[in-house]
Amino acid sequence: MDRFEGRISASSFSTGERIVIGDWSKSPLGKFVNIMWARPNGRRILISPSEKCAEYVSKIYSFEEVIIQPIDIKRNNNKIEIKTLDLKLIFEWKSFFPFPINRPRWFISTIENFIGNLVFGSKTYGKTRDGRKEWYMIKGISFVSKAYGENKGESFGTIEYHKIPTLFGFSEPPKRPSSVKVVSLIEKTRLDV
């Protein structure tokens, strides 16, 4: 299994822009942050810090455009600030609901998947774009209290619940803007084994 440990923060905005930030503290690719950006016209963009990271992520999720450029990150326990050449993003969260117990993959793909889809509108199990199984083991969830985004100085507007699908992969971000501590488990391809 490829194991990614970190945090996924996501919010929609009143202009129709949708942002998902993957902030990975441990992974087969090392420590990195990538941005999945869905535009109001449906165009899906990946912003990644390296070719290696971009290649891996774009194999398992769907994008029309992949951008490789430096990503400047500032973070603490309840906030992340990101700057790229064009984007500025600030997410803040307060409440935290921990799920400290590790669950087996069968539980994540059945019971947890059902509850996650019912309560949050998110799936915890499915198949990647290249046909591998993936499990999201949720370790804790915080609701985003403030979110700001801009592209080339133009604001994304106010924070909104997730209404329009991003269609990056088998799961959507929680309906309510959230920052989720997560362990992602992804099957290796036969070539990786």
The pTM score is 0.93
pLDDT at 74 over 90: yes
- pLDDT tens sequence across 133-157: 999 999 999 999 999 999 999 999 9
Tell me how long the chain is.
193
CA angle 10, 13, 14 (to 5 degrees): 160
Which tokens is 74 given? 């500032």
Which tokens is 79 given? 């906030």
CB 111 within 8 A of CB 60: no
pLDDT at 190 over 80: no
pLDDT category of residue 193 using cuts at 50, 70 and 90: very low
Greater pLDDT, 74 or 96: 74
Look at residue 192 in the predicted model and tell me its pLDDT: 52
Q: Distance between the two ends of the chain, CA-based, in angstroms?
A: 9
- Could you give the percent of the chain with pLDDT greater than 90? 88
- pLDDT tens sequence across 81-99: 999 999 999 999 987 788 8
For residue 130, give the amino acid letter.
D
Look at residue 100 in the predicted model and tell me its pLDDT: 76
